[in-house]
Amino acid sequence: MNQVRHAEALETLQTSAEPAEPAEPAESAESAESAESAESAESAESAAPAVRDLAGLLDALRASAAQRDRDGGHAAREKQWIADAGLLTLAVPREFGGAGASWPDIYETIRAIARVDSALAHLLGFTCLQVVSVNVWGNPEQRARYLSGTVEGRWWWGNAVNPLDTRLVASATSGGGYRLDGQKGFCSGTRGSQMMTVSAQDPATGRPVFAVVPTAREGITVHEDWNPIGQRQTDSGSVSFVQVEVEPHEVLARADTPYASLRTLISQQVLTNLFVGIAQGALEEARAYVSQYGKPWIRSGVEKATDDPYLIQRFGEMRLQAVSAEALATRAACALEDAWQQGPALAAETRGQVALATSEAKILAHRAALDVSEKLFDACGARSTHAPLALDRFWRNARVHTLHDPLDYRVRDVGRYALSGTLPDVSLYT
């Protein structure tokens, strides 16, 4: 999908994107986060008309990306722009008023944003992921309530679902509800969100519990303790829970089926497309810098840097990595879309093929993001390390996010398939 097609798709989405601030669940109306969101919405109002299509949004994000990378913290104004562009409903089915976009189109939108700001692309991708969680784990009443609510209230979704963090305990209460106590880490998108998905351990059964709760529910504290070297505005800090009540109708039933387990692959493809976008963004920045500021090496025998044969070769290698990663990411997204359309009838074999395509794409995207963002400096030269340019943000963002899960185990899975035809097992990451 080129930029023109993006604009056309967004024009359709904007029928449900009004400039008012997001509506929130009733119990969160007086929260501190609500006040912060309201203030940011008011400050963003004058800028909103310029970002009602993807091209305008990308220009606005690009203009402040370097400064916001230095500042870190919460990008409330920029999140408002994304909401104003109608992008929060991309993954919501049309029957609930959403865009019902295909996975290739969703991921291409995430990729486009990641070229200029991979942190905010992460936030959008993870809102789509929590929407999917409700869609595949929720019952009909829950799907209607939360998916329609996402459209009507323009909700940002956060999460406290890190499967490897088992510190959050769910104690059963009468009637089928739970009480949550403990903490979760890496809770991307939770600060400034209206709703969140949660996973906790039930000590009585030894099984995980999944639920949806308003982020501002009494007893929930979202900590501002996210301070990494990259992906600095993903709001991926920790969240504490003290006697947080979960009503029976908020508990999700995670089905153990190939279709429901596509959620894991949707998550992995969000990361894959963030990596692709980072590689593409680094390449674009390198080209722009060399075109404007590049100087030929004294022994190159050419008058312009863009005529230097070694520099031309370097850009060729960078482009090959970026376009190869994009091609496999698109291939994986198309495989996912085909599987998604099969619904609950999806077979395990087909799901395994999607998992394989996802790992193949993620491996290549992982390497492209790190390599192209490093080669940027070889292409641009010493002056490109000037700190205010923040050209190192591409590498730092890639380095932080590529540590999400080990690459070696994905290469092992691909190698097993290449050698013996064994598809990847269903796991927390495949």
pLDDT tens, 269-287? 999 999 999 999 999 999 9
3 state SS of 170: strand
Superfamily of domain 262-420: Butyryl-CoA Dehydrogenase, subunit A, domain 3 (1.20.140.10)
Q: Hey, which residues does 197 pair with through a beta bridge?
A: 159, 212
User: How many residues make up the chain in this entry?
Assistant: 430
Determine which helix (DSSP H) or strand (DSSP E) holds 82, and give its type and residue range. helix 76-84
- Structure-block tokens of residue 126: 């993870």
* Predicted pLDDT of residue 163: 81
State yes or no: pLDDT of 65 exceeds 90.
yes
Average the pLDDT over each of 45-59, 152-166, 371-385, 413-427 and give the range with the smallest value: 45-59
Give CA–CA dist 396/204, Å, rounded: 42
User: Per the structure block, which two tokens stand in for 127?
Assistant: 């809102």
pLDDT value for 193: 97
- Can you give the pLDDT at residue 53? 81
Residue 13 has a pLDDT of: 41
Q: Are 392 and 303 in contact (CB under 8 A)?
A: no
pLDDT in tens, 317-352: 999 999 999 999 999 999 999 999 999 999 999 999
Other residues' Cβ atoms within 10 Å of the Cβ of residue 116 = 22
Question: How much is the average pLDDT of 53-60?
Answer: 90
Which of 32-36, 123-127, 223-227 tops mean pLDDT? 123-127
Each residue of 117-143: pLDDT tens digit? 999 999 999 999 999 999 999 999 999
pLDDT at 254 over 60: yes
Asked whether residue 7 carries a pLDDT value surpassing 90, the answer given is no
- Model pLDDT, residue 164: 87
User: Residues 293-313: what's their mean pLDDT?
Assistant: 94
* The pLDDT of residue 237 is above 50: yes
Can you give the pLDDT at residue 174? 87
- The reported pLDDT for the residue numbered 50 is 52
What pLDDT does 51 receive?
Answer: 57
Does 393 score more than 80 pLDDT? yes
Residue 52: per-residue pLDDT: 66
**Contacts within 8 Å (CB) and 24+ apart, 50-54:** 51/81, 51/84, 51/85, 52/10, 52/14, 52/17, 52/84, 52/85, 53/6, 53/7, 53/10, 53/11, 53/85, 54/3, 54/6, 54/7, 54/10, 54/85, 54/109, 54/112
| CATH architecture, domain defined by 3-156 | Orthogonal Bundle (1.10)
> Per residue in 187-205, pLDDT tens?
999 999 999 999 999 999 9
Phi, psi of 315 (to 5 degrees): -65, -35
Give residue limits of the domains in the chain: 3-156, 159-252, 262-420
**Which helix (H) or strand (E) is 214 found in, with range?**
strand 207-214
Per-residue confidence (pLDDT) for residue 25, from 0 to 100: 57
Q: Which helix (H) or strand (E) holds 198?
A: strand 195-202
Average pLDDT, the chain: 90
CATH superfamily, region 159-252: Butyryl-CoA Dehydrogenase, subunit A, domain 2 (2.40.110.10)
Residue 4 has pLDDT above 60, yes or no: no
> Are residues 1 and 167 in contact, defined by beta-carbon separation less than 8 angstroms?
no
Tell me the average pLDDT across 103-130. 98
Here the tokens at position 77 are 């104004």
pLDDT for 16 beyond 50: no
Per-residue DSSP letters for 319-388?
A: HHHHHHHHHHHHHHHHHHHHHHHHGGG--HHHHHHHHHHHHHHHHHHHHHHHHHHHHHHHHH-GGGG-GG
Angle at 364 between CA 383 and CA 75, to 5 degrees: 60
pLDDT for 43 equals: 40
Q: How far apart are CA 183 and CA 223, in angstroms?
A: 10
Q: Give the mean model confidence (pLDDT) for residues 34-61.
A: 59
Position 319 scores a pLDDT of: 98
Name the residue with tokens 């992460």: 122
Rg of the chain in Å (alpha carbons): 22
Residue with the larger pLDDT of the pair 147 and 56: 147
